[in-house]
Structure 1
């Protein structure tokens, strides 16, 4: 494909143009990026360096590779990049006015209120609340030669999210209906046809949004009245020092987004960890020994820092498969990235998934090596944005501590109950057309431990 510039820089600015091989208008490299993101990213970096452009999902899109370019976008020192108009193009109709889709003063206002739902005391209450559900969910698993990890973990995390975040019990049929709605809403973000054709992703996503809105609105009056230790109650009750609270509409929007974020990203993280612990049984045994040494069937809040092995495996799994594979922004004024001219209106994407695989920053990047995060190595410290699974800047994930707490709580109980494995030559087929997940559901041999 021929090299072209995105736009000529202003005369006398000293800036360089962004170059790329855009391909066919509107389509460009969309299929290549979705089906082979790692190879496509490596080729783009070799040809054009850290800042390049091409057509992606119907938009002229600048892709920035490497931590230096990522920092320029995510830290956003001159407020040139906005989340809302960028994310809205992909998921706006389905996750309307979620915290990630707000910007600048409005985002800060909502974040200050929402932060009340993630205080240390709230996190402790969430952790206590989820422990019985983790145990019940894991005990219901049936050991055998073909146990699909992804499907079971997804069901477990949805059950935990609805229980801990909402404080309501759902029937299996209702839980399945809500689960299906979240799947349809997330998948709609990468639809090729971006208007409501019956049976296609976009239309399914719009229908899913209505299901989720009705669900939360139905439960909201009781939650306002009765309160509780769950996230839903926390958002209903949260108030800033100067008396600002969320409206009912705000609560519904934030709940839909928060439940999606907690449910899907945790599922991907736990599934990735399970895959590598099956491939590398020595790590699985190391983590199991660590959990056994704790001497507690259920992890408590004050024990979180004790499970250092799970920390290492979680960080390496987040590096290898970032649950949110790309972070888009929209330039709201002319700006620059690493000396390249970025005109107002440009969509800019930080490709988290592939940035974590750059050999320029990560030695032997395809190798599963949790020790790279150990205190004596800390390869992530080569640059503050070399490892960025939770984003950065003002929009850094507000639930990152909850996520780590939930992952550790689940894996601790899982390790004490089961051992799991895959055939020696098995490599999972990772589907990267939307949020990354195994095409085959990650089938493992699951064996219940005799002393469980």
Structure 2
């Protein structure tokens, strides 16, 4: 057994077991309000607590020290493959589900698809799509989440697949939503009417969609991610198999458009609630100008960058990061047995009043150089994870959010009714439960 905490007290204890309902455990408490559930778990049990949920048992590890211990993963004590329990049938062999040497091999190949040159090509194409999408938007009341999700999927199709969405665009979007929401299904078998069954059907549709396209991409590659994966070779000259290309395309397209949609939805909501900040960012966009952005322009979004960081703090797109324990170890005197599932929680850490000033308040300046609250601990702000599995698409995501928000702010003013509070749906990734009803006012 490895003791990796020098400050651990003498003796080793088991994690306190948070008792809940038979069979379903804490599943419903988490889905109903993950934020409140995680805070109460911490207040009652401290930094480590064992819970029963979603048909399994998990050691929740709470706070920035736990984030650092797990995400740095010194000695390869934790494996990412434990994600497979939740999303394996739907995102088989996606990069996030691979470990150690195999993960390093696949990540090294995929790095070329997210290089600076590749990002420049994606950036140019995405701006054309954003302009076309927003030109079709009407002013007035709308469900913003649905509009943003359709737009980010269209951007992903243009940038990653190299083609405009076809007649099956709505089916593809629904399939991605079904595969993501299946992760926390209480019934984990293919019974009609369950989220699990819908997820399996969604995976089948996505798999067929990309498999059909592989031969043409290999024969006539372009500048898109799909083509790059078809052409990518290892140091030994090996190509990705068709199956691996399909697996990576499904996972990357899901991760890219879902996380950007969540971030944009929460950001627009906060700006609708905070009109002073909305106007402040609009003035920054006007100063940069209405034309096509360059990569250099992205560095000029100073206030916008602060607002995006604060949004990622308040609503981390991936609220919990599960891992499997490969070797029994100890964290602050608590035993983590080999084979156990553990989970660190960016969402919980990002709302801890022990570390953040008024954590429930939207306050982008907390990330300014003068205050730098996020630097109080190296693993306090972790919306992109950390360590070897830190999100490979984080620069793409930040680029996409800035590009969309820039054009959105120059075209529309947005508002919500006084007193409106957006409800979060924690069924899987956090999305607006009501799909964010918002009012758009055209500016030009």
The alignment's TM-score, normalised by the length of structure 2, stands at 0.96
Partner residue of 1:164?
A: 159
Partner residue of 1:98?
A: 94
Q: Distance in 2 between matches of 1:140 and 1:352?
A: 36
Partner residue of 1:185?
A: 179
Partner residue of 1:48?
A: 45
Partner residue of 2:274?
A: 280
Q: Does 1:239 align with 2:236?
A: no
Equivalent residue for 2:336, pick from 329, 337, 342: 342
Q: Does 1:227 align with 2:224?
A: no
Query: Bigger CA drift: 434-443 or 380-389?
Result: 434-443
Contact 1:57–1:192 under 8 Å retained in 2: yes
Partner residue of 1:3?
A: none
Q: Distance in 2 between matches of 1:38 and 1:296?
A: 38
Q: State the Cα deviation string for residues 47-93 of structure 1 (Å, max 9, x = none).
A: 21111111011111100110001111111102111111x11110000
Following superposition, the deviation at residue 143 of structure 1 comes to 0.3
Partner residue of 2:77?
A: 80
Partner residue of 1:134?
A: 130
SS across alignment from 1:19: coil
Pairs within 5 Å for 1:206-217 = 206-217=200-211
Equivalent residue for 1:110, pick from 106, 120, 123: 106
SS across alignment from 1:329: strand
SS across alignment from 1:142: coil
SS across alignment from 2:142: strand
The ranges of structure 1 where at least 4 consecutive aligned residues each deviate by more than 6 angstroms after the TM superposition are none
Partner residue of 1:152?
A: 147
Pairs within 5 Å for 1:306-317 = 306-317=300-311
Contact 2:290–2:407 under 8 Å retained in 1: no
Q: Distance in 1 between matches of 2:78 and 2:50?
A: 16
Contact 1:297–1:416 under 8 Å retained in 2: no
Following superposition, the deviation at residue 13 of structure 1 comes to 8.2
Contact 1:28–1:56 under 8 Å retained in 2: yes
Partner residue of 1:6?
A: none
Equivalent residue for 1:59, pick from 53, 56, 60: 56
Following superposition, the deviation at residue 25 of structure 1 comes to 4.6
Q: State the Cα deviation string for residues 359-402 of structure 1 (Å, max 9, x = none).
A: 11111110000000011111000111100000001100000000
Contact 1:130–1:163 under 8 Å retained in 2: yes
Q: Does 1:298 align with 2:292?
A: yes
Partner residue of 1:430?
A: 424
Following superposition, the deviation at residue 39 of structure 1 comes to 1.8
Q: Distance in 1 between matches of 2:371 and 2:10?
A: 41
Q: Distance in 2 between matches of 1:382 and 1:114?
A: 33
Contact 1:25–1:58 under 8 Å retained in 2: no
Q: Structure 1 regions of 5+ residues with no counterpart?
A: 1-11
Partner residue of 1:355?
A: 349
SS across alignment from 1:20: coil
Equivalent residue for 1:70, pick from 61, 64, 67: 67
Following superposition, the deviation at residue 302 of structure 1 comes to 1.6
Partner residue of 1:379?
A: 373
Q: Distance in 2 between matches of 1:345 and 1:417?
A: 52
Following superposition, the deviation at residue 197 of structure 1 comes to 0.2
Pairs within 5 Å for 1:370-409 = 370-409=364-403
Contact 1:268–1:437 under 8 Å retained in 2: yes
Q: Structure 2 regions of 5+ residues with no counterpart?
A: 1-8
CA-atom RMSD, angstroms?
1.3
Pairs within 5 Å for 1:410-429 = 410-429=404-423
Q: Does 1:446 align with 2:440?
A: yes
